[in-house]
A and B are shown apart, each in its own frame.
Chain A
Amino acid sequence: MRRLYLPLVLFFFVILEGVAIELLPASFVMSDLLIIPHWVFIFLLYIALFYDNDRTYFSVLYGAIFGLLIDIVYTGVLGVYMFAYAFTIYVMHGIRKLLHSNIYVTILLGIIGILFADFTIYLVYSVVGLTDMVLEDYMLYRLLPTIIANLLFLLVLYPITKNRLSKWQDEQITKTIN
């Protein structure tokens, strides 16, 4: 049963992203700034930091599955989010081994992760031709606001998820030993 919690939470975030825009005030949405919710990614990052150990790759697997889900439901161009999320989380999983996971490392990895994931999406979309935004515009109008907004979400989520995920990780380890 415990194993089902993570996919369910991730699925819930996928759905929430679809109504996220409605929560922002209209003047904000109609302005030039593009804020993209990467909530699924943030939670995947938490899984990579606090749930996975060095040898398990649940976060990468979930990243591929739920990235594909976002592709199917929201963009119709398959593979982009799937690749961006799974690949970035894989890199984060690698960096994690070098650093002790506390709140500062989480924030740092959050910034790097969102930057990396969103930039991968931008790169693929501009190659495919879905966007023709210039790099400078992209940095200023999309990347920066997106990172700030998602960082807020990351900080809100920190106290709720951290201990819970660590607890689940312990249970997962004891289960495998038994």
Chain B
Amino acid sequence: MPFFRKKRLFIILIGIIILVVLIGFSLKGRDQLSTPEQFIKDTVGWAQSVVHTPVKFITDIFTNIDDLKDTYKENQILKEKLSQSKSLIYEVQEIKEANEELRKALDKTESIRDFNPIQATVMSRTPERWVEQVTINKGKQDGVRSNMAVITADGMVGKIQTVSQFSSTVQLLTGFDQFNRISATISREEGNDIFGLIEEYDKETNSLLFKIIEDSETDLKKGELVVSSGMGGVFPAGLTIGTVKEVVPDQYGLTRTALVEPAADMFEINNVIVVDRTLKENDKAESVQEDKE
């Protein structure tokens, strides 16, 4: 019997050692997944896409019933908004044309605003709620690379964390920590833009923390739109991130932090667009560093 006891203890100790080694391996900040991991992710991803379709169908029925209840009211509001936005569309079109002409005149064709969209569908969401991740059905073969921004029609939802051949993992904005920064801006007239960094997601207030770098004369107002500035070298400019909810001084009282409510719905994410920035950063190391700072 003592022999068995020893053997049992031995196995548990080996188990703990394996645990520590594996955690150490996975936490050293790697960008690339190992080949077996990619293979398993793709296999499971394929099976997930098979299972996801019927589940989606059923959940859609319930959502549709909920939606039907609000249809009339929404329709009224939308009709009002539509008439307003029609004039806006013409204005935007004209401005776009003018912008293009001016760019041509300057011989400047590339812009940090340009990106190639890669359409993707969300297949699963991680059951471990401390890790905010979703899996999408596009991978390396479709041109997805790590650190690309992921948006929905409403705004930014996250960035690509790891890619395998046919699927990839998206880290949601709600899972951002101090290692994932987005350089962002609040657009103002006459060059009074406010620049800053989206630093992390605060779980207590359910909002992103937008640290303002420079001191600006005008105060931030509630409801102002925060967009990505493209200065980080990874994401293109002009992606909607969220709206300002509240402005608070930071813990040292020197700078101010805006609490930003994400524009996109972090719960119901179905179809996403992976944003492939057209303008490539020359110094790739620098861009990675900025993003992973």
Binding site for B on A (CB under 8 A): 11-12, 14-23, 26, 29-30, 34-37, 69-80, 82-83, 86-87, 121, 124-125, 128, 130-131, 133, 142
Give every chain B residue within 8 A of A14 (Cβ-Cβ). Answer: 44
- B-side contacts of A124, CB under 8 Å: 19, 23
- Please tell me if the beta carbons of B22 and A78 are within 8 angstroms of each other in the complex: yes
- In the complex, B92 has a CB within 8 A of chain A: no
When the two chains form the complex, which single residue of B37, B127, B267 contacts A36, counting CB atoms closer than 8 Å? B127
Interface SS majority for chain A: helix
Q: How far is A17 from B21 in the complex, measured between Cα atoms in Å?
A: 26
From A15, A29, A73, B51 is in contact (CB under 8 Å) with: A15
Q: Are A22 and B26 in contact (CB under 8 A)?
A: no
Closest residue of chain A to B52 (Cβ to Cβ) is A19
Bound-state Cα–Cα, A20 to B48, Å? 12
Residues of chain A lying within 8 A (CB to CB) of residue B123: 18
Query: Given the complex, which residues of A lie within 8 Å of B169, measured CB to CB?
Result: 76
| B161 on interface, CB distance cutoff 8 Å | yes
Contact indicator A36/B128 (Cβ below 8 Å)? yes
Known: A20-B127, A36-B127. A78 touches B25 (CB 8 A): yes
Contact A73 B23 (CB under 8 A): no
Decide: A17 and B127 in contact? CB cutoff 8 A: yes
A74–B133 contact, CB under 8 A?
A: yes
Q: How far is the CA of A100 from the CA of B124 in the complex (A)?
A: 39
Q: In the bound complex, what is the Cα–Cα distance between A34 and B18 (angstroms)?
A: 28
Other A-B pairs beyond A76-B169, A77-B26, 12, CB < 8 Å: A15-B48, A20-B127, A26-B268, A34-B130, A70-B127, A76-B26, A78-B23, A79-B20, A79-B21, A79-B23, A80-B19, A83-B16
B96 at the interface (CB under 8 A from A): no
Residues in B133-177 with C-beta less than 8 Å from chain A: 133, 135, 161-162, 169
Tell me whether B55 is interfacial, beta carbon within 8 Å. yes
Q: With an 8 A cutoff between CB atoms, is B78 at the interface? A: no
Given A36-B128, A36-B129, also A77-B23 (CB < 8 A): yes
Interface digits, B4-44 against A, CB 8 Å rule (1 contact, 0 not)?
00000000100110111111011100000000010011001
Task: Report A21 CB to chain B, min CB distance, Å.
Answer: 5
Interface residue from B37, B125, B162 paired with A22 (Cβ < 8 Å): B125
